[in-house]
Amino acid sequence: MTPTLLHQILDYANRADPYPIYEELRKTPVHHETDGAYVISTYYEIRSLLHDPRISSDARNVASGNADPPAESAPEESALPPSFLRLDPPEHDRLRRMTNRHFGPPHSPHRVDGMRPELHDIVGGLIDGLGDPGRIDLVEEFSYPFPVTVICRLLGVPREDEARFHTWADTLAASLDPDPDADPAERGKDAHEARMALGMYLAGLIEERRKNPGDDMLSQLATAKGQDGPMTTMELLSTAALLLIAGHETTVNLISNGMLTLLRHPEVLQRLRTEPRLAVPIVEELLRFEPPVQLLPGRTALADIEVRGVTIPEGSALWLVLASGNRDPQRFENPDRFDPDRPDIQHLGLGSGIHSCFGAPVARLEAQLALAELARRLENPRLLDDPPEYRQNAVLRGPRHLRIACDGIRP
Amino acid sequence: MVGDGVLEQLKREGRIVVVGASLAGLRAAETLRAMGFAGSLTMIGDEPCEPYDRPPLSKGVLLGRARAERTALPRLRSVDATWRLGVPATGLDMAAKRVRLADGDEVPYDRLLIATGVRARPWPREEEAELDGVFVLRTRDEAAALARRLDEGPHRVLVIGGGFAGSEVASACRERGIPVTVAERGAAPLVGALGGVVAAVAAGLQREHGVDLRCGVMVTALEGDASGRVRAAHLSDGSTVETDVVVVSLGALRNTEWLYGSGLGAGPRGIACDAGCRAFDIRGIVTDDIYAAGDVARCPHPLFGYQFLSLEHWGNAVAQAGIAAHNMVSESVDRLPHMDVPAFWSSQFGVNIKSVGVPSMGTEILISQGSLDSRRFVGVYGYQGRVIGAVSFDHGRWLPFYQELIERTAPFPPQFPTVDRHAGGQRPVDADFPDPSVPSHGPTVTLSGYSPADRRMTFTPAH
């Protein structure tokens, strides 16, 4: 029996290049498999559904029987409540608004831009510390430690605790992967335990920040008295866990996918070396071409919704395959070409609508600085393995290792 | 083919004149160059400065966060034009294809784009309008002058007209701690654009922010002191507001007077043009060498019964300028229609307000998401059983969905459930628009009938 398209997407054998499957998928823009989710793969349909108020992100709306990531779908007395990623308005709006108060405009317009010099130093330090230039694992030595350090500084999480929360974060990121072959009960249990452990860890930290507040986001969230009042402790823990995980699991892949793509397009890498401002369109094109979040699997139809002549029944689970929409030839000319000079790169890589990537300004800045500096400082860099070894996750897709070599490191 | 040759010659060595050097004019010029137009390009503008951006003038500039002089529009590409700035156009000779300028010059054209926009409607009594401390707000200089006066810490600002611009001025004043009175002829601020249901929310917002809001009143006279400074305003309810700064915010006048007598279909409602931005002459025949774009244009819209629609919206100016420029240097079969769904935004009293479609055409409204009480909501407007517009207060990210409903003329009221639906959003209610024949602050979207040559409309000040 031919494996279904859903299985093919999730099949690790296709991790290095899922794009031919997406192309196949787009032949049926609304694809449904028996007892499974409705998979949406074309640009305009995905974009419409991202703004559609008949679509819920609340895990509690998922009808039983639908394959769905169990990470936050089984809240128990002792577990953390869902983060705003898995809530609908008005709860979502309230929590996101309260969090944004300490992160972006209008209340904190300088937060991200003010980190620019600090980010520059972190990037410089990591490149200085690269080992043998003949054998660099860019993931281990650069694209993982960089965003972790940044999110720790931003939140006020001690960098030296990384070893502790790393495992929990990995387990939770893995639980987002809707792997149909894994035992959902087992995965749910692992994810639940990881959330509990992370919650306990953050609770201790927040207690500490309440006593000795700094200028980090955890301190500000813990002591806030905005027009929405303070977050409850449980809300605060969920939000902090969300930011900590989302703050690095995705950016790692953006940077790794970015360097991989540039090494496959040496002419663009060469241009970036001499024109650092090109980092801005390069990162946008990367978010289109190799988005770190490939698909959004956790949404539910609250009503019968007609999409391209197909009625998606109320209660159905939806998968929005962002990475496929980004390669839709109806929207992008030569979609399989990596071209930072595209006049109009309105990609879906960061989502759209109310759940669009909260950390986008930081992620963009991190990737721009990282790629520009790697391009400038690595002498004659080249890939040692192509394709590289990928991580298991089909949703948060990126290399587990990215082995490269170069002739030396420029000062 | 002969036609090909003419167009190629136009693109190679033709003369294109753009009257109006603001957003629409600049974006059109950039598009012309991007389309490969290599001939001569002349930009005529009555203001002495290069094209600048207006939205900040009623927001950041009045708050003292941005300087009026530093609002120049970013250039998307070089336009390589001859700039005639500070010289208004005063006439058009359609037969000789020449634009007359105030300094006596005449500029010949092969294609003409008119993007002269609008100006603030002045206070109708000239001697009162000339009092020191009486302002309008449309241009950079006007914004700079008002901002300077606000820096001096006036005792009270009176805003006449509670439309979007007036409300933004009031918001800026309150944010700076300056006492402010808003006098609105209608039942509430924004009522002309959004109807009474939503306007009541805007009124609550203003009062909560300390605005002395007077609705259902007109200002009957402005009074100056011996030195010619404004000191008080008299209202139709017999009350008097002591004030040292008055901002007249009574909507806009289209800059079309210079075209009267030219034979072009231009009047107080703007310049009538077809969906491809070609201007009509006064006989209702479309010209083939004169185009219009931006606030001054009015063109038929298929989604709104093909009535002529005039829009004072930033996004419309950009889109329409692009279409006009494209069509000016294209064969007739390659021309594009201007069919953007109207959209605008405003920022006031800490709330982001956005709208799509033509809310003022709606007769009913349904609050489909959020609630009026929380001042965070989406309101959907219905007209004859279809969705015609939508407005959001701090809910702008949902509007693309409602725009799609408008584009496909979806039925009203919408029958489906949504996230965040409240009890108040189960049934539509009367949207409560004032009688459109009664001028108040003037909505920024105006439907103006089917006649391309309408010159009959006159505005009668409220006295």
CATH number assigned to the domain comprising residue B423: 3.30.390.30
Q: Is residue B452 part of a domain?
A: no
Please give the Cα distance from B271 to B453 (Å, whole number): 9
Asked if the C-beta of B405 comes within 8 angstroms of chain A's C-beta atoms, the answer is: no
CB contact under 8 A, B374 and A48: no
B170 and B56 in a common domain = no
CATH number at residue B325: 3.50.50.60
If 0-12 CB within 10 Å is exposed, 13-18 middle and 19+ buried, where does residue B187 land? Answer: middle
A91 touches chain B (CB under 8 A): no
- List Cβ neighbours of A326 (8 Å cut-off, separation of 6 or more): A43, A287, A288, A289, A291, A332, A335, A347, A348, A349
- Is the ipTM higher than 0.95? The answer is no
Which residue out of B416, B421, B422 would a mutagenesis test of the A interface target, given it has the greatest number of A Cβ atoms within 10 Å?
Answer: B416
Q: Which residues contact A91 (CB under 8 A, 6 or more apart)?
A: A84
pLDDT at res. B436:
65
CB atoms within 10 A of CB A229: 10
Mean pLDDT (whole number) for B333-347: 92
Same-domain check for residues B84 and B192: no
Phi, psi of B388, rounded to the nearest 5 degrees = -120, -20
Kindly tell me if the per-residue pLDDT of B1 is higher than 50: no
Say what the pLDDT of residue B424 is.
Answer: 78
**Does residue A299 register a pLDDT over 90?**
yes
- Tell which B residues from 350 to 369 touch A, by Cβ distance under 8 Å: 350, 368-369
Across the interface, whether the CB atoms of B370 and A47 are under 8 A apart is answered: no
CA distance B73 to B22: 9
The answer to whether residue B363 is domain-embedded is yes
The answer to whether residues B217 and B308 belong to one domain is no
Residue B462's pLDDT band (cuts 50, 70, 90): very low
Whether residues B420 and A54 touch (CB distance < 8 A) is answered with: no
Token pair belonging to B94: 């359609």
The answer to whether position B201 is within a domain reads yes
Between A369 and A166, residue with greater pLDDT: A369
Q: For residues B213 and B187, is the Cβ–Cβ distance under 8 A?
A: no
Which band of pLDDT confidence, cut at 50, 70 and 90, is reported for residue B61? very high
The number of beta carbons lying within 10 Å of the beta carbon of residue A163 is 7
**Is the model's pLDDT at A1 over the cut of 60?**
no
d(CA A129, CA A404): 15
* B105 interfacial to chain A (CB closer than 8 Å): no
Query: Do A48 and B401 count as a contact with CB atoms less than 8 A apart?
Result: yes
In terms of domains, do B309 and B258 share one?
yes
| CA distance to partner chain A, nearest, from residue B417 (Å) | 6
Q: Are residues B142 and B25 in the same domain?
A: no
Provide, as residue numbers in chain B, all residues whose Cβ is less than 8 Å from the Cβ of A90: 370, 374, 376, 420
Q: How close does chain B come to A103, measured CA to CA in Å?
A: 17
A170 closest CA partner among A248, A254, A263, A272: A248
Most A-contacting residue of B366, B418, B421, B422 (CB-CB within 10 A), to test interface:
B418
Using the Cβ of A47 and the Cβ atoms of chain B, whether some distance falls under 8 Å is answered with: yes
At residue A28 the predicted structure's pLDDT band, cuts being 50, 70 and 90, is: very high
Residue of B350, B374, B398 with shortest CB distance to A53: B398
Strand partners, B354: B345, B392
What's the rounded Cα separation, in Å, for the pair B229 and B133? 6
Q: Please tell me whether residues B262 and B275 are part of one structural domain.
A: yes
Q: Is A354–B420 a contact, with Cβ atoms under 8 angstroms apart?
A: no
DSSP A94: H
Spatial CA neighbour of B133 closest among B248, B249, B55:
B248
Q: Is any Cβ of chain A less than 8 angstroms from the Cβ of B377?
A: no
**Most confident of the following: B108-117, B295-304, B329-338, B412-421:** B108-117
- Pairing state between β B98-101 and B106-108: antiparallel
B-interface mutation test, from A86, A93, A306, most B Cβ less than 10 A away: A93
Q: Which of B370, B401, B416 sits opposite A89 (nearest CB)?
A: B370
For residues B187 and B259, state if they share a domain.
no
**Which of A223-227, A304-308, B326-330 has the weakest average pLDDT?**
A223-227
Largest CA distance in chain A: 61
d(CA A185, CA A58): 20
Which pairs count as long-range contacts for A124-133, CB under 8 Å and 24+ apart, including other chains? A124/A373, A127/A373, A127/A374, A127/A377, A127/A378, A127/A409, A128/A409, A130/A409, A133/A378, A133/A379, A133/A405, A133/A406, A133/A407, A133/A408, A133/A409
Q: What whole-number distance in Å separates Cα of residue B280 and Cα of residue A111?
A: 52
Evaluate whether residue B463 is within a structural domain: no
User: Do residue A53 and residue B400 have CB atoms under 8 angstroms apart?
Assistant: no
Q: What is the pLDDT of residues B391-429, one digit of tens each?
A: 999 999 999 999 999 998 899 999 899 999 988 788 999
Residue among B374, B419, B420, B422 with most chain A CBs within 10 A, to mutate: B419
* Best residue in A47, A50, A54 for a mutation probing chain B (most B CBs within 10 Å): A54
Closest by Cα among A54, A151, A149 to A112 = A151
Q: Do B376 and A90 touch (CB under 8 A)?
A: yes
Residues from chain B that touch A106, judged by Cβ atoms under 8 A, are: 350
Assigned token pair, A23: 């192309």
Domain co-membership, B128 together with B113: no
B421 within domain boundaries:
yes
Tokens 């105006």 locate to B446
Residue A56 touches partner B, C-beta closer than 8 Å = yes
* Whether residues B107 and B17 fall in one domain: yes
Q: Choose the mutation target among A52, A58, A318, A357 for the interface with B, i.e. most B CBs under 10 Å.
A: A52
- Per-residue pLDDT reduced to its tens digit, A253-281: 999 999 999 999 999 999 999 999 999 99
Give the pLDDT mean for B278-305: 93
Tell me which of B212, B229, B250 is where a domain ends. Answer: B250
Mean pLDDT, rounded, for B289-313: 91
**Distance (Å) from the alpha carbon of B387 to chain A's nearest alpha carbon:** 15
Whether the ω angle into residue B413 lies within 30 degrees of 0, i.e. cis, is yes
**Structural domains in chain A, sorted by start:** 5-409 (1.10.630.10)
Task: Name every residue whose Cβ is closer than 8 Å to that of residue B238 and which is 6 or more positions away in sequence.
Answer: none
**pLDDT exceeds cutoff 90 at A45:** yes
Q: Is the pLDDT of residue B459 over 50?
A: no
| pLDDT of B245 | 98
Taking all residues of chain B, what is their mean pLDDT, rounded to a whole number? 92
Structure tokens at A139: 């993931």
A positions 92-151 inside 8 Å of B (CB): 93, 106
Q: Is B460 on the interface with A (CB under 8 A)?
A: no
**Band of pLDDT at residue A68, cut at 50, 70 and 90:** very low
Largest CA distance in chain B: 73
- What pLDDT was estimated at residue B463? 32
Selecting from B397, B404, B418 the residue whose C-beta is nearest the C-beta of A354 gives B397
Nearest to B135 by CA among B216, B243, B273, B236: B243
Q: CB-based contact (8 Å) between A354 and chain B? A: yes
Q: How confident is the model at residue B452 (pLDDT cuts 50, 70, 90)?
A: low
All residues at 6 or more sequence positions from B336 whose CB lies less than 8 Å from its CB, including other chains? B276, B323, B326, B327, B330
**Terminal Cα-to-Cα distance of chain B (whole angstroms):** 61
**With 60 as the cut, is the pLDDT of residue B150 above it?**
yes
Summarize the confidence of residues A224-252 as an average pLDDT: 90
Residue B453 lies in a domain: no
B93 phi/psi in degrees, rounded to 5? -110, 100
- What confidence category does residue A66 fall into, taking pLDDT thresholds of 50, 70 and 90? very low
Q: What is the pLDDT of residue A35?
A: 72
CB B425 within 8 A of CB B369: yes
Tell me whether A27 touches chain B (CB under 8 Å): no
Q: Compute the Cα dihedral for A207, A208, A212, A216 and give only its sign.
A: negative
Residue listed under structure tokens 């093919």: A8
Please report where in the chains the tokens 């809707």 appear, as a residue.
A178
What is the dihedral angle through the alpha carbons of A67, A72, A76, A79, rounded to the nearest 10 degrees? 150
Q: Any idea which of A185-199, B78-92, B192-206 has the lowest mean pLDDT?
A: A185-199
In a domain, B131, yes or no: yes
Residue type, B338: H
Is the CB of B398 less than 8 angstroms away from the CB of A354?
A: yes
Q: Comparing A163 with A61, which gets the higher pLDDT? A: A163
Our CA-based measurement puts residue B421 at a distance from the nearest CA of chain A, in whole angstroms, of 9
Q: Give the pLDDT of residue A63.
A: 54
Residues of A in contact with B368 (CB under 8 A): 53
Which residue of chain A has the CA closest to B422? A90
**B235: closest CA of chain A, how far (Å):** 36
Q: Which of B269, B299, B334 is the last residue of a domain?
A: B334
Q: Quote the number of domains for chain B.
A: 3
pLDDT over 80 at B441, yes or no: no
Beta-carbon contacts of A249 under 8 Å, excluding residues fewer than 6 positions away, are A169, A173, A396
User: How many of the other CB atoms lie within 10 Å of CB of B385?
Assistant: 11
Q: Which of A354, A156, A351, A359 is nearest to A246 (CA)?
A: A359
Q: Write down which residue in B334, B355, B377 finishes a domain.
A: B334
CA atoms within 13 A on the CB side of A309: 2
* Residue B237 and residue B176 in one domain: yes
Give the closest-approach CA distance of A58 to chain B in angstroms: 10
- The verdict on B327 and B383 lying in the same domain is no
Q: How confident is the model at residue B114 (pLDDT cuts 50, 70, 90)?
A: very high
Contact in structure between B44 and B18 (CB atoms under 8 Å)? yes
Q: Which domain holds residue B372?
A: 343-439
- Based on the fold, state whether residues B242 and B257 are members of the same structural domain: no
In this predicted model, what pLDDT tens digit does every residue of A174-208 receive, in sequence order? 887 776 666 777 778 888 889 899 999 999 999 99
CA angle B207, B209, B213 (to 5 degrees): 30
Confidence of residue B458 (pLDDT cuts 50, 70, 90): very low
CB A168 within 8 A of CB A194: yes
Flag whether pLDDT at A75 surpasses 50: no
Mean pLDDT value across residues A272-295: 97
- Pairing mode of beta strands B180-184, B212-215: parallel
Chain B residues closer than 8 Å to A299 by CB: none
Chain A and chain B share a number of CB contacts under 8 A equal to 52
Report the length, in residues, of chain A. Answer: 411
In a domain, B128, yes or no: yes
Q: B391 with B359: CB under 8 angstroms?
A: yes
